[in-house]
């Protein structure tokens, strides 16, 4: 019998250049390799419709998010959920009885409708969302946005109870598994993050710069980028900040220093080239939530990694990174690594540890749950 799945993504999952979208794209790719037919539903805001996704999906539907004003007047339903309520999506899902995998709590608006109570429903939990949004509030300097994130966090904490109707919840990290299994019991199964499934890192070429990449439309990543600008502003070390998004505040800071540049990521090849040519990848974060997909992605494609406790603790990847928490420690580690070559021994150790994060094995585990 053919295995077919509706997958609802909070954003267009290509190019896989940031956060949860890395998990979405490589999950689609891994499930496709196991013969699962995927009907992809995704919300479009700013990105084009890529041809690449047609390789892995039986059908693809694109939807617009609701307006800010309409979604804010949503009572107790969080903005990130209400803005993805869409009648066309509802009608497309009603065309059959196939299982539905919601990628992120963001995409679960239809669970407020009785029409889907008898369907097989599953959630891929990228974060404990109310904790994540509280962290965004703590990182935000703009008073309006900070208050918005605080209110969103409160709504998400209450709204999360809607997961009681799910047949299964798949946390992305052991930390999230502990939280969700405590609340929702045996329906929770830890499925490691999906990511690039081949190590592309080359050890025979020294890199030329320091790289930070991330979605700098998110306040957490803005804070990280500004932190790194302060680390390297009085040095001669070249820093590249790369993102699919543009941020005025970060750009103004970068323009002050000759050793810093911004690189726009318009497709996956742009990021691949940066990974190939960077000697050090710097990955600070100020939220210990989920597993940072860009960490896994970087370990598969980049050379040296410097990360802080919030990025690597409880991930199983601690031994593959150089740890630094303060600006002084980041600068010291950078000075040390610029004197070292990325060796074959480092690559062997990395491959061994990363076997525990095999996308193929994660996909098999997921299929077992989706099509019982």
Q: What is the CATH number of the domain that holds 269?
A: 3.40.50.2000
Q: What is the pLDDT of residue 268?
A: 79
Question: In this structure, what are the phi and psi dihedrals at residue 142, rounded to the nearest 5 degrees?
Answer: -75, 125
Residues 17 and 149 in one domain: yes
Q: Residue 173: inside a domain, yes or no?
A: yes
Give every CB contact of residue 215 below 8 A, 6+ residues apart in sequence: 17, 18, 19, 221, 243, 244, 245
Give every CB contact of residue 57 below 8 A, 6+ residues apart in sequence: 28, 32, 38, 39, 40
Q: Which residue in this structure is represented by tokens 């502990």?
A: 178
Give every CB contact of residue 28 below 8 A, 6+ residues apart in sequence: 7, 13, 38, 40, 53, 56, 57
Structure tokens, 134: 């509280």
Residues 187 and 214 in one domain: no
Residues in a beta bridge with 8: 41, 102
Asked if 201 and 347 touch (Cβ cutoff 8 Å), the reply is yes
Expressed as residue numbers, the domain containing 39 is 4-196+358-370
In order of 51, 117, 134, 160, 233, the CA distances from 147 in angstroms are 39, 34, 10, 20, 31
Residues 92 and 230 in one domain: no
Residues 91 and 169 in one domain: yes
Asked if 284 and 228 touch (Cβ cutoff 8 Å), the reply is yes
The domain tally of the chain equals 2
Residues 362 and 346 in one domain: no
Q: Residue 203: inside a domain, yes or no?
A: no
Q: Residue 201: inside a domain, yes or no?
A: no
Residues 45 and 182 in one domain: yes
Q: Tell me the C-alpha distance between 159 and 328, whole Å.
A: 41
Give every CB contact of residue 336 below 8 A, 6+ residues apart in sequence: 322
Q: Tell me the C-alpha distance between 112 and 183, whole Å.
A: 20
Residues 154 and 103 in one domain: yes
Q: What is the pLDDT of residue 202?
A: 62
Q: Which residue in this structure is represented by tokens 């100020």?
A: 286
Q: Residue 204: inside a domain, yes or no?
A: no
Q: Residue 202: inside a domain, yes or no?
A: no
Q: Residue 19: inside a domain, yes or no?
A: yes
Residues 69 and 82 in one domain: yes
Residues 237 and 148 in one domain: no
Q: What is the pLDDT along the chain (372 residues), one digit of tens a residue?
A: 689 999 999 999 998 877 788 899 999 999 999 999 999 999 988 788 999 999 999 999 999 988 766 556 657 899 999 999 899 999 999 999 999 999 999 999 988 776 787 889 999 998 899 998 998 888 788 898 899 999 999 999 999 999 999 999 999 888 889 999 999 999 999 998 888 777 766 656 788 999 999 888 888 889 999 999 999 999 999 999 999 888 899 999 999 999 999 999 888 789 889 999 999 999 999 877 656 678 888 998 899 999 999 898 878 889 999 999 999 999 999 999 999 999 888 888 998 888 888 889 999 999 999 997
Structure tokens, 188: 């929770």
15: preceding bond cis by omega (within 30 degrees):
yes
Residues 59 and 185 in one domain: yes
DSSP string, 258-324: TTEEEEE--SHHHHHHHHHHEEEEEE--S---S--HHHHHHHHH-SEEEE-HHHHTTTT-GGGSEE-
Structure tokens, 139: 């990182």
Residues 98 and 239 in one domain: no
Asked if 80 and 72 touch (Cβ cutoff 8 Å), the reply is no
Q: Tell me the C-alpha distance between 241 and 262, whole Å.
A: 5
Structure tokens, 217: 């439309």
Is the whole-model pTM more than 0.95?
no
Q: Residue 310: inside a domain, yes or no?
A: yes
Q: Residue 118: inside a domain, yes or no?
A: yes
């Amino acid at each position: 019998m053919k295995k077919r799945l509706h997958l609802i993504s909070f954003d267009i999952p290509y190019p896989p250049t940031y956060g949860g979208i890395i998990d979405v794209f490589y999950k689609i790719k891994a499930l496709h390799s196991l013969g699962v037919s995927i009907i992809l539903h995704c919300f479009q805001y700013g990105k084009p419709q890529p041809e690449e996704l047609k390789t892995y999906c039986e059908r693809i539907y694109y939807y617009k998010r609701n307006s800010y004003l309409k979604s804010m007047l949503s009572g107790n339903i969080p903005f990130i959920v209400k803005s993805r309520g869409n009648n066309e999506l509802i009608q497309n899902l009603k065309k059959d009885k196939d299982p539905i995998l919601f990628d992120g709590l963001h995409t679960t608006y239809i669970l407020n409708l009785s029409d889907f109570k008898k369907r097989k429903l599953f959630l891929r939990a990228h974060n404990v969302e109310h904790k994540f949004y509280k962290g965004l509030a703590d990182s935000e300097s703009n008073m309006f946005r900070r208050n918005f994130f605080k209110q969103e966090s409160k709504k998400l904490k209450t709204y999360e109870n809607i997961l009681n109707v799910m047949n299964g919840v798949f946390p992305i990290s052991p930390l999230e598994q502990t939280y969700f299994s405590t609340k929702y019991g045996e329906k929770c199964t830890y499925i490691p993050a999906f990511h690039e499934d081949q190590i592309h890192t080359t050890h025979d070429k020294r890199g030329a710069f320091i790289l930070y990449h991330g979605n700098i439309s998110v306040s957490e990543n803005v804070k990280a980028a500004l932190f790194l600008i302060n680390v390297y502003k009085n040095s001669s070390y070249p820093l590249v900040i790369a993102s699919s998004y543009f941020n005025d505040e970060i750009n103004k800071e970068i323009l002050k220093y000759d050793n810093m540049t911004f690189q726009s990521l318009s497709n996956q090849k742009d990021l691949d080239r940066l990974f190939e040519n960077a000697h050090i990848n710097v990955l600070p974060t100020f939220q210990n939530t989920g597993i940072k997909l860009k960490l896994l992605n970087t370990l598969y494609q980049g050379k040296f990694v410097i990360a802080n406790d919030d990025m690597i603790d409880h991930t199983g990847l601690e031994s593959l990174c150089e740890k630094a928490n303060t600006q002084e420690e980041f600068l010291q580690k950078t000075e040390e690594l610029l004197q070292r070559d990325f060796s074959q021994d480092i690559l062997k150790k990395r491959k061994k540890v990363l076997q525990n994060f095999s996308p193929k094995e994660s996909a098999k585990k997921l299929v077992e749950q989706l099509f019982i």
